[in-house]
Amino acid sequence: MDIENYIQTCKEAATIGGQILKEHFKHIQKKDIEEKGRKDFVTYVDKKSEERIRNFILSIYPDHAFLGEEDGVIGNRESDFLWIVDPLDGTKNYINGFDIFAVSVALQYKNDIIAGSIYIPMLDKLYWAGKGQGAYLNGTKIKVSNKEKELAIVATGFPFRRIEEIDKYLKAFRETMIRFSAVRRPGAAAVDLAYTAEGVFDGFFEMKLSIWDIAAGFILVKEAGGIFTNFEGKEILDGNVIAGGEKIYKELKDIIQQTLV
């Protein structure tokens, strides 16, 4: 299996999408924003980024399948290879001129994520990882942190699409605030996971995410020496995420087991 070329394609695809985001940043007008669901928005930039990424990937691997947040599955649905893409993670941030957003590109072979890249364009931070290859930021190898909980910063995301879950979530949030040094909420799960892989954040949890939000982050955290599971402790991408180095992961799992499971 040609992991090196798959990694390179992830990196180039994420960069292509990121260039689109840079070009249009702070040029979004109200008329450009569509509401595709409750508190869930999309712009022409999301769509243009996805189209450019899809065209690039399928020009190299025409026999593969492609899953994008905006247009669903395109390509060879019978393929064992599925490219999973979020062309703009953090659309609300983007719309409001908050420059924390990212492009996420991952490759799944059968049920295994084997390569991924996350690009934070306004910071020019390009993360990538491949199965058995380690995790990198702009060419430098990265690893998860190993801090004690009293010094740890944990990232999370609010369940804005699942307001009915807010009371349970707030119990977890409260316990997280008590147990760790600080809690951060940048508003883009791909960024949270990239920072967790880098050791900027010591852990991360969030609920009800989509696979395109977390596929690249999954392999980044794993290849950076971290743990990534769902709330039951299983290494599957069902949208409920606990991630981090071993110490903080165990603390977060304990909180989640008490409050959200």
Could you report the per-residue pLDDT of 61-89, keeping only the tens digit for each? 999 999 998 888 999 999 999 999 999 99
pLDDT for 70 equals 85
Is 192 annotated in a binding site? The answer is no
Which letter does DSSP use for residue 126 in this model? E
pLDDT classification of 32: cutoffs 50, 70, 90: low
pLDDT for 34 equals 65
Domains in the chain and their CATH numbers?
3-141 (3.30.540.10), 149-258 (3.40.190.80)
User: What is the crossing angle of helices 44-60 and 3-24, to 10°?
Assistant: 150
pLDDT digits (tens, 9 = 90+) for 96-148: 899 999 999 999 999 999 999 999 999 999 999 999 999 999 999 999 999 99
Is 89 annotated in a binding site? The answer is yes
Question: Given 3-state DSSP classes, what are the helix, strand and coil percentages for the chain, each rounded to the nearest 5?
Answer: 40, 30, 30
Is 67 annotated in a binding site? The answer is no
Q: Does the global pTM surpass 0.75?
A: yes
CB 69 within 8 A of CB 86: yes
Is 213 annotated in a binding site? The answer is yes
The whole-number average pLDDT for the span 19-35 is 79
pLDDT for 42 equals 64
pLDDT for 1 equals 73
CB 121 within 8 A of CB 22: yes
| Number of CB atoms found within 10 A of residue 181's CB | 14
pLDDT classification of 39: cutoffs 50, 70, 90: very low
Is 51 annotated in a binding site? The answer is no
Whether the pLDDT of residue 257 is over 80: the answer is yes
Whether the pLDDT of residue 23 is over 60: the answer is yes
pLDDT digits (tens, 9 = 90+) for 193-252: 999 999 999 999 999 999 999 999 999 999 999 999 999 999 999 999 999 999 999 999
Alpha-carbon distance of 218 to 115, in angstroms, equals 10
3-state SS of 182-239?
Answer: EEECCCCHHHHHHHHHHCCCCEEEECCCCHHHHHHHHHHHHHCCCEEECCCCCCCCCC
pLDDT classification of 40: cutoffs 50, 70, 90: very low
pLDDT classification of 45: cutoffs 50, 70, 90: confident
pLDDT for 161 equals 66
| Number of CB atoms found within 10 A of residue 102's CB | 35
Alpha-carbon distance of 193 to 212, in angstroms, equals 12
pLDDT for 159 equals 79
